A and B are shown apart, each in its own frame.
Chain A
Amino acid sequence: MNGKNDKWGFHTEKSNLITLDSNDRSLVNILAEQVPSLNSCFFCGSCGATCTASDDGMNFRLVHLLLRRGELQTVNKIIRSCLLCGKCTLVCPRNVDTRAVIYNLKILIHELH
């Protein structure tokens, strides 16, 4: 269905519809238990704007949002470029410990695999 090189010369893209009913959104709850400040995030984007690895696609706001919606496919790829430099934590207006979230997320994903 999603192959780019299908036999007929055309293909269908995967739907980008978020279906909250079936998506697994438990990961964000585990993270929020480990780092309670995560729940304070209001997605302002300061973290993404200041990110050292933004050229490589890293964006804390986006990662958090994808976790919240249970859209996990790209999360692992995105956070791979995070350098854990902590600049995002310095700029966060709601004092979210963003660095600790990514750090814990990396461990969780490592444990899952």
Chain B
Amino acid sequence: MSVNPKKRVAVVGAGVAGIAAAVALKRAGVDADVYEKESGPGGHLTRWHALFPGRENAATVLQGFLNEVKENRLDIRTGTLVTDIRKENGLFRVTTGSGECSEYGAVLLANGFRLFDAARKEEYGYGIYPRVITSPDLEKRMEDPATGLLIHNQAPKKVAFVHCVGSRDAKVGNRYCSKVCCISGVKQAIAVREQYPSCEVMNFYMDLRMFGSGFEELYQEAQEKYGINFIRGRVSEAAPTLDGSIQVKAEDTLLGCPLKVTVDWLILLVGMEPGIPGSLHDSLGLERDDAGFAGCRNKFLLPGYSSVDGLFLAGACAGPATIPDSVNQGRAAALSAIHYLNGKV
């Protein structure tokens, strides 16, 4: 295939944003190569069990995306890490881990996010105390009811969630809000109560940010139907007890009193960190926003337009995003890339 490289687009990342972008490009008749470092498409969606706010099965939603890939005959180069992108004479040269080079007229970055490494918050003991797990760990456990949160085959009696782990925290260098963890925490709290009706569930939060459609309703349902206890106060530390359960300390900031409770599991709602490697920022001269994500030129008029002409952004690489956000951004960025290739921008 010898398509004029000036008319081709490279999509980096085959998560939901990348797939949506590539499908939109394909449907518009634009030739696109999709690069994916993992062995298959789907990104973080492949590691999730159920989705907020409706608790849809993640595997079903993933299958929907995979069907789109198949129906549109997308060429996804899986297991292919993009190591370098450079812009020279108006063309982007994309280099992969194997040293292969290809040229494109435009690039659409959909690198997504990295999960915050909970071990960095040492006071919670992730990676040291086995009963301290993260929200993705819980998703994985909930996939198999035979494991779940059972302890010696017994249902857990008390489970606590910690909101804002790795987000809104200057101590780890992340002052921004990761946006999706609040509602994830509510959804997971409900899932735990549904699986283990006799288990008490507590969510320790600083603020609850229920910004999306149906989010506030799910939060209310969590209180009314599932009796989840929302306690305002950031967990300051976790310590193991003799039987392996976890004692947590927080302040009940609505009462102004310190509070202590022992739980069977402590679940850390980890946030998102920028997914574009620093080396790509450097080689492209791609600017970051205050939070460290890829910045856009004008957040009102040109969202999805990076600081580099012809380089477009979609999904969580441009800032924490939900799946529908990422899909919309993917489509929008595809259209922007088409306009660019046609010389309209």
Which A residues form the contact surface with B (CB < 8 A)? Answer: 16-21, 32, 36, 39-43, 61-62, 65-66, 68-69, 71, 94
| A42-B255 Cα distance, complex, nearest whole Å | 13
| Chain B binding surface, main DSSP class | strand
B151 CB–A CB distance under 8 Å = no
A39→B224 contact, CB < 8 A: yes
| A36-B229 Cα distance, complex, nearest whole Å | 15
Closest to B262 in A: A21
Given A16-B258, A20-B260, A39-B227, list of 18 further CB < 8 A pairs? A16-B257, A17-B259, A17-B260, A18-B257, A18-B259, A19-B260, A21-B260, A32-B227, A36-B224, A39-B224, A40-B220, A40-B223, A61-B254, A65-B252, A65-B254, A69-B252, A71-B257, A94-B220
B260→A18 contact, CB < 8 A: yes
B: number of interface residues (CB 8 Å): 16
| A42-B229 Cα distance, complex, nearest whole Å | 10
Which B residues form the contact surface with A (CB < 8 A)? Answer: 220, 223-224, 227, 229-230, 232, 252, 254-255, 257-262
Contact of A69 among B220, B223, B230, B255 (CB under 8 A): B255
Contact of B258 among A17, A39, A43, A66 (CB under 8 A): A17
| A94-B217 Cα distance, complex, nearest whole Å | 11
Closest to A62 in B: B255
Chain A residues with CB under 8 Å of B259's CB are 17-20, 69
Smallest CB–CB gap between A17 and chain B, Å?
A: 5
| A64-B254 Cα distance, complex, nearest whole Å | 11
Identify 14 residue pairs between A and B in the complex whose beta-carbon atoms are under 8 Å apart, listed by A's number: A17-B258, A18-B255, A18-B257, A18-B260, A20-B259, A20-B260, A21-B260, A39-B224, A39-B227, A43-B232, A65-B252, A69-B252, A69-B257, A71-B257
| A91-B224 Cα distance, complex, nearest whole Å | 19
Contact of B255 among A19, A36, A71 (CB under 8 A): A71
B261→A20 contact, CB < 8 A: yes
Chain A residues with CB under 8 Å of B229's CB are 68
| A21-B224 Cα distance, complex, nearest whole Å | 23
Closest to B255 in A: A65
Chain B residues with CB under 8 Å of A32's CB are 227
Chain A residues with CB under 8 Å of B252's CB are 18, 65, 69
| A26-B127 Cα distance, complex, nearest whole Å | 35
Smallest CB–CB gap between B237 and chain A, Å?
A: 14
| A112-B252 Cα distance, complex, nearest whole Å | 28
Chain A residues with CB under 8 Å of B223's CB are 39-42
| A66-B256 Cα distance, complex, nearest whole Å | 11
Closest to B247 in A: A21
Chain A residues with CB under 8 Å of B261's CB are 19-21
| A53-B218 Cα distance, complex, nearest whole Å | 34
Closest to B258 in A: A17
| A40-B220 Cα distance, complex, nearest whole Å | 6
Indicate whether A43 sits within 8 Å of B262 (C-beta atoms), given known contacts A36-B224, A68-B229, A94-B220.
no
Smallest CB–CB gap between B91 and chain A, Å?
A: 55
Smallest CB–CB gap between B188 and chain A, Å?
A: 19
Smallest CB–CB gap between A90 and chain B, Å?
A: 20
Smallest CB–CB gap between B234 and chain A, Å?
A: 15
Contact of B257 among A17, A41, A42 (CB under 8 A): A17
Chain B residues with CB under 8 Å of A41's CB are 223
Smallest CB–CB gap between A64 and chain B, Å?
A: 10
| A97-B215 Cα distance, complex, nearest whole Å | 24
| A42-B221 Cα distance, complex, nearest whole Å | 12
Chain B residues with CB under 8 Å of A21's CB are 260-262
